[in-house]
Amino acid sequence: MNADHEAGRRTSPRSRPFALTLLYGAAALTITLAGMRSVADIITPVFLALVITVTVHPVRRALERTRLPAWLVSVVMLVCAYLLILVLTLALTLSVAQLATLIPQYTSELTQRVTDLGGALQTLGVDQEQIDRMVNAIDPGQLVSLVGSLLSGTLGVLSDLLFLFTVLLFMAFDTNGLRRGLAVLADRFPDPVTALAHFTQGTRSYMGVSAVFGLIVAVIDGVVLYLLDVPGAFAWAVLAFVTNFIPNIGFVIGLIPPALIALLEDGPGLMLTVIALYSVINFVIQSIIQPRVVGDTVGLSPTLTFLSLVFWTWVLGPLAALLAVPLSLLMRALLVEADPGASWALPLISGKPAPAGEPMRPEPAPPD
């Protein structure tokens, strides 16, 4: 009888093998990701609206201390959110438009650079057929067309602004109701509410850190490009600010346009100078200092920050590159911090062991 009882316990659902549990989790994850990819056009702007609302929420808290009417506070918060998204959209559009304006002016120079490159490869012993194939592939007309398509795609973002603005409108006026609802739920479900509070704090800290470092990088890059007499220095500085919100590889994206223009303007020497200075300035600040500050601020390791960029861009598209860290913070809050049994994963996520004698779970935070 005892043997049968033990056998029943081993085959009960509560003692399911770990491998089977892992397979169930992988299957659920696959279905979830497929669903997210199918509705990425909805998820991305909605989450962007949430991040913007969280970012400008300190404005609401400051205005609430002045005893202004609640509706007026919501209107001011909404205006701040609208201004923020318009500034970012116009900054990106300005940079792409500047590139689209400059490239056609350098068509002859681009053709000459391609010819010079072919001659250099020939002296190195590269087969002439391969050189001809490469030279024919680098068509200045196609490059101009590519830049034009990029500009059209950037302007196409404007068509999504109406949906984004509508979502921001509802979020701005629903903030107080949501805060009251979370306060009521805090007594019954303290862990999920605390996790969501940590998500809002981490997201706001990340956006603030990225904005500060982005402004520093933009000013330094703009001054350097101006002193080097690279056309469009202001536009490339603005682009450097926007791409700073993309973890780890943002400086590479911001480097391509000014390096290309420098090559066409004054040859490989100026291009290499721009690349060298950008690498020293942007790589040190954006890829070494900033990830460490972000990791200390929001509790994500540099490796996880980079992987989140790749993962969320694959799942939700290019715009998710700007939202990779907030998306990872939300997943950490929902899947780890909200579950007391998953607190063991927090040191792995942050890349730092929990101090001896202290719990691994974060300290409770009030609903924000």
Question: Average per-residue pLDDT in the chain?
Answer: 76
In this predicted structure, which of 45-49, 116-120, 166-170 has the lowest mean pLDDT? 116-120
Residue at 31 is within a domain? no
Pick from 266, 336, 275: nearest CA to 300: 336
Q: In this predicted model, what pLDDT tens digit does every residue of 294-353 receive, in sequence order?
A: 666 677 777 788 888 889 888 888 878 888 889 988 888 888 888 777 777 777 776 665
Res 223: pLDDT: 92
Name the domain count of the chain. 1
Residue at 197 is within a domain? yes
Residue at 356 is within a domain? no
Res 367: pLDDT: 46
Q: How far is CA 325 from the centre of its chain?
A: 6
Residue at 34 is within a domain? no
Mean pLDDT on 213-223? 89
pLDDT at 221 over 80: yes
Residue at 115 is within a domain? yes
pTM to 2 decimal places: 0.75
pLDDT at 12 over 50: no
CB 213 within 8 A of CB 244: yes
Residue at 29 is within a domain? no
Distances from the Cα of 106 to the Cα of 117, 147, 226, 236, 266, angstroms = 16, 13, 19, 17, 11
pLDDT at 273 over 80: yes
Q: In this predicted model, what pLDDT tens digit does every residue of 132-156 receive, in sequence order?
A: 666 565 555 555 555 555 555 555 5
In this predicted structure, which of 1-5, 15-19, 243-247 has the lowest mean pLDDT? 1-5
Residue at 154 is within a domain? yes
Res 172: pLDDT: 80
Q: Quick one: 274 exposed, middle or buried, by C-beta within 10 A (0-12, 13-18, 19+)?
A: buried
Residue at 33 is within a domain? no
Domain boundaries, position 186 = 40-350
